[in-house]
Structure 1
Amino acid sequence: MNDSLEGNGKRAVGRRAILIAGPTASGKSALALDLAERRNGVIINADSMQLYEDLRLVSARPSAEEEALVPHRLYGILPASSAFSTGAWLSLASRELDAAWQAGRLPIVVGGTGLYFKALTEGFADLPDIPEDVRAGARELADEEGVTGLKSALAEAGDAEAAAGLSDPQRLARALEVIRATGKPLALWQKEQQSAPILTDEACDRFVLAPPRPWLHERIERRARLMLSEEGCEEVRALLAKGLSGKLPAMRAIGVGEIGAYLSGEVEYEQAAIRLTIATRQYAKRQETWFRNQMAKWQRVDPSTELDTNALL
């Protein structure tokens, strides 16, 4: 990164940014904090679950102490009762990027939600609102029949391209929602509505954390135990007490169902820890697949080694 120093000693970053993606438990937040402290940075959240105020420990949001060290933006800004789209995140993130640049700070966008990064760097198609019954039907099909069922339903609905070209359950479900609601394939909507990227390749340094699998699995297991701590259980207990729909994104976060089963006495502590560990590993694997397929040109960084952050940029 070609930063220069201003007269006050701060780095003049222009309209540049650092992007840090990676699977859950890979150390993204710690790396972002280190870089922000060294580079007069502002950390901007790109993780869909860390948007929710009810899920600090369960979603592994930075602690209050960490947030006090450098500015953190878009963390804990939503109630669990709300849903949030990629387009809505992009609008807020764009605003935070502008604010950071105007303040002479370096924005550091960090998280595990691949769609957010894709929208930021490749442009975004402003898709129509999907009726909740259509969205619920696609999610139910995904839960019951998985990728095979989604592909079959997509082909039947008239979007053979998405059925043949997609393999991620979330993206397949999204394509199914769109064609069922509008009668138009997702690819056609994207072609007609695609906006310009907010950050070009030349305007940012892009990193994907790619840790060795055993190292990541050990950290995931430790996180599962932390989520089952008294604080984590109390967080989930308070969330469940609100009586919200189980179809809301916050209620579908990894940890809510598993800890809820433990709190209700459905499973013992060890079984809950195993369930949490397995679910988180599966999620990390899906994230890694996304990053490998969608972010092939991003620089890979192994967080299991001692990183020289100055050498990264």
Structure 2
Amino acid sequence: MSKPVLIAGPTASGKSALALALAQKTGGVVINTDSMQVYRDLHIITARPTPDEEAVVPHRLYGHVDAAVNFSAGAWVTDAAKVLADARAQGRLPIFAGGSGLYFKALTRGLSAVPPIAAEVREDVRARLERDGVEALHAELAVRDPASADRLKPRDRTRIARALEVVEATGRSLTDWHREGLPPLLPPGEFAALFIAPERDALYARIDARFDAMLAGGALDEVASLASRNLDPLLPAMKAHGVPALIRHLKGEITREAAAETGRADTRHYAKRQFTWFRHQLPEFEWVMPGDARGWVASVIPGREANPESRDSGSGPSDHPGMTWS
């Protein structure tokens, strides 16, 4: 059986289309490796595969988590381990597709062994954050976990809260826990990995066009439904690109166009960070231009025939030119 294939890249680079085409060609299974596409409440705004696309080949770990859950990379690795074992048992090629660098790093490098944090501890820290402000919690962290406090920006609300939660719950710092890592699911040499690297201006134009298309397709209604739940704004789902700005629009604080421009800009900035992160953190990923991605994939699975069950499935949708298989 071929090695698992890892398809990474910035948002809107064509990862999902390539993964779908490859899964059709090989009878494989597409495994979500995006930290926002795990949330069932965020289908449109995260550009998750459509129901029609998911019906073409098996898709796993998409929309399986409620927005009220503070889902983590560790929880994703646990879920991914089960899906990977299932794919191997069925003789299907595992195809990991997404843009979350931390998920890919956990998959291929392992992860720190931080235990789950009790809900009451998390709620207490979040309540103090709202009451006392981020500066007060950063000062407390500087006393209880100086290494983390030095590493974090003083106004990084989410990470400061997380570091304090770990100290509160375990009596040990994040630095201590990071020394005791969990092994990778896919050690070096046991996977093939590419990073789709489009030309920047073309990518940013695609990001802008896609965000506008998501708005036209019902993203605002989706965010309104999420906002009606009155969830903790620090939850990951509440910080998905476009969500905070659209919530501000729904509250009457900014115009729809201002919210859209903020969402587009935030997504472009995120894409820029993805380029930087993968270049420095995961150099084993081979950078490939979109037009060369199909050829790269074919080179790492030479001679593999399509699963007979997948041959009559038809050709699935593609979100990037040159990403379909002939």
CA 1:306–1:188 in structure 2 vs 1: closer, same or farther (change >3 Å)? closer
CA 1:286–1:154 in structure 2 vs 1: closer, same or farther (change >3 Å)? farther
Q: 1:111 Cα shift? A: 1.2
Q: 1:158 Cα shift? A: 3.8
1:158-177 map, 5 Å: 158-160=145-147, 162=148, 174-175=162-163, 177=165
Distance in 2 between residues matched to 1:124 and 1:186, nearest whole Å: 12
Contact 1:42 1:105 in 2 (8 A): yes
TM-score by length of 2: 0.79
The reply on whether 1:103 has 2:93 as its aligned counterpart is no
Distance in 2 between residues matched to 1:227 and 1:96, nearest whole Å: 29
Distance in 2 between residues matched to 1:305 and 1:138, nearest whole Å: 51
CA 1:61–1:135 in structure 2 vs 1: closer, same or farther (change >3 Å)? farther
Figure out how many residues of one structure are paired with residues of the other and give that number: 294
Contact 2:211 2:264 in 1 (8 A): yes
Deviates more, 1:281-290 or 1:110-119: 281-290
- The structure showing larger relative contact order (alpha-carbon pairs under 8 Å, at least 6 residues apart) is 2
Distance in 1 between residues matched to 2:83 and 2:77, nearest whole Å: 10
What does the per-residue CA deviation read over 1:135-181, in whole Å, with 9 as the maximum and x for residues that have no partner?
5379879x967xxx998775544433x566678x6767644543465
Quote the residue 1:290 is aligned against. Answer: 277
TM-score by length of 1: 0.82
Unmatched tracts of structure 1, length 5 or more: 1-11
Distance in 2 between residues matched to 1:135 and 1:24, nearest whole Å: 32
Distance in 2 between residues matched to 1:255 and 1:137, nearest whole Å: 25
| Match among 126, 134, 150 for residue 136 of structure 1 | 126
| Match among 117, 120, 123 for residue 110 of structure 2 | 123
| Match among 268, 276, 295 for residue 263 of structure 2 | 276
Deviates more, 1:264-273 or 1:149-158: 149-158
Percent identity over paired residues: 45
Q: 1:101 Cα shift? A: 0.8
Quote the residue 2:54 is aligned against. Answer: 67
CA 1:137–1:202 in structure 2 vs 1: closer, same or farther (change >3 Å)? farther
- State the one-letter code of the partner of 1:53: R
Distance in 1 between residues matched to 2:161 and 2:68, nearest whole Å: 22
> What SS does the corresponding residue of 1:276 show, helix, strand or coil?
helix
CA 1:220–1:38 in structure 2 vs 1: closer, same or farther (change >3 Å)? same
Distance in 1 between residues matched to 2:137 and 2:25, nearest whole Å: 46
CA 1:208–1:163 in structure 2 vs 1: closer, same or farther (change >3 Å)? farther
Distance in 2 between residues matched to 1:118 and 1:267, nearest whole Å: 37
Distance in 2 between residues matched to 1:140 and 1:18, nearest whole Å: 43
| Match among 254, 258, 262 for residue 267 of structure 1 | 254
Distance in 1 between residues matched to 2:104 and 2:129, nearest whole Å: 23
